Amino acid sequence: MVNERWNEFLELRKNGSEIDLFSELSFCVLTANWSAKGGMIAQEKIGEGFYTFSLEELEISLMKVGHRFPRARARYIYENRWIVGNLRNLLSLPVEEAREFLVKNVKGISWKESSHFLRNVAFCEVAILDKHVLRLLNKYGYIDIIPKNWSKRRYLEIEKVFKALADEFGECPGKFDMYLWYYLKGKVEK
């Protein structure tokens, strides 16, 4: 399952249009404080509407799929449309630069969401440090506390721990995250 999903990510990176890439970025904006399952449903129902809908249509669509914050997320997505036409160039940057750019310039994108987007377009060297991964790291003594708020420094410190653990298992962080999700949930979402 992990390799199948990874191949989908590779295909998106290689052959996805700017609109496809924007849809994936919008998915990552939506899943912050929501769920991957909900984000996948929204992505399926809204599709190119992330780029073409009016702000009001986007809000209504997010309400219909049950998003917790439909107005705020619709506004973020709507205001992020400027990046369409630049996403392929972004993917040609070193991953650290691409992630930093996303965090600084794209609304609704923090360290976790930028890592999520980059992983979902087959950058394997980033870690998605969500609450499930953090709980596992804490449970097994890899981190002392689960941060309530993220700074760049704190995210990168914990990511370094995660990368070392992934390396122990002989896997890159992006794929290792997917294996952990499979272990926890019995399926691989996004």
Q: Which residues are catalytic?
A: 112, 130
The secondary structure of residue 122, as a DSSP letter, is T
Closest by CA to 119, choosing from 15, 43, 22, 25, is 25
Among all chains, which residue has been given the structure tokens 């760049």? 152
**Distance from C-alpha of 83 to C-alpha of 166, rounded to nearest angstrom:** 32
Would you say 118 and 134 are in contact if contact means Cβ atoms under 8 Å apart? no
Would you say 87 and 120 are in contact if contact means Cβ atoms under 8 Å apart? no
Among all chains, which residue has been given the structure tokens 């953090």? 134
Cα of first residue to Cα of last residue in the chain, in angstroms, is: 11
Give me 182's structure tokens.
Answer: 């499979």
Among all chains, which residue has been given the structure tokens 């309400």? 63
Distance of CA 169 to the CA centre of its chain: 23
